[in-house]
Structure 1
C-alpha cells in the first residue's frame, strides 16, 4: 500500500490529528494523487495501532477539509484539488492571516450574540416577574 507509515512514524500516542496530518502531507506532496484509494480503516488501525474510531475521525477530518471523498465500491479516495469546501478555499487563498481574521470575526459575533441573549433574558425575566393583578 502506498503511503504506509514506517515503524518510526507510528507510536503509542498517535491520535486522529496525527493520522490526518500524515495523510494530508502525502496528498500535498503528491505521494497520494486525486483518485487514489486511501488505505482502508482497518489498514490505518493496524499501521498506526489505533482504534477504528480514531482512524474514522482522521478520515472525517480529511473529508471535511475537502481532501478526500467517499467512492462507491472503492472506499475513500483522494479528491480533486478544487473543492467547494470553505475551509479548503480559505486555506488555498492565504493561510494563517485569513484564519486569524475569520476567528476574530467569529469571536466578535459570539460576543454580540451573548450580549443580545443577556438582554432578551433580562426583558423576559421582567415580564415573568410582573404581577398581572397590579395592572
Structure 2
C-alpha cells in the first residue's frame, strides 16, 4: 500500500515539489555560508519525492543554532516552499481520491517551514526510545 501511495504521490505532486526543494538546495549551496540549508533541502527533496513509509522525528537536543537556522531558512526559502505545499494540497483536495494526498502535502508544508532539528527515518524505525520519550521519574 505504501508503494502505491508513493507512486500516486510522485505522479500527482511529488516530482515538482521535490524539484522545488532541489532548486532551493542548489541556491543555498551556491553561497558557502548556507550549505547546511542546502543539505536540509536535499534531504527534504527525497522526503517530498517518496514520503509514505517514512516519518519525521524531532531531535530534542537540536539547540539554539537550529532555531536561529530555522528563522533564516523561513526568510530565505521556507515560506515559498510552504506556500507551494499548501497550493498543491488545495489542488489535490479537489477530488475525493486526492484528499489524503492534500492533507499530506499540507503537513509537509509545516515541515518546509522548520526543517532544521528534524530527521527523516523509516516508519518502522520511528519508535526508537532516543527520539520519543524522556524517562519518567
Instruction: Establish whether TM, by shorter chain, passes 0.5.
Output: no
Query: Which structure is higher in RCO with an 8 Å CA cutoff and minimum separation 6?
Result: 2
Q: TM-score, normalised by structure 2?
A: 0.31
**Greater helix proportion:** 2
Q: TM-score, normalised by structure 1?
A: 0.31
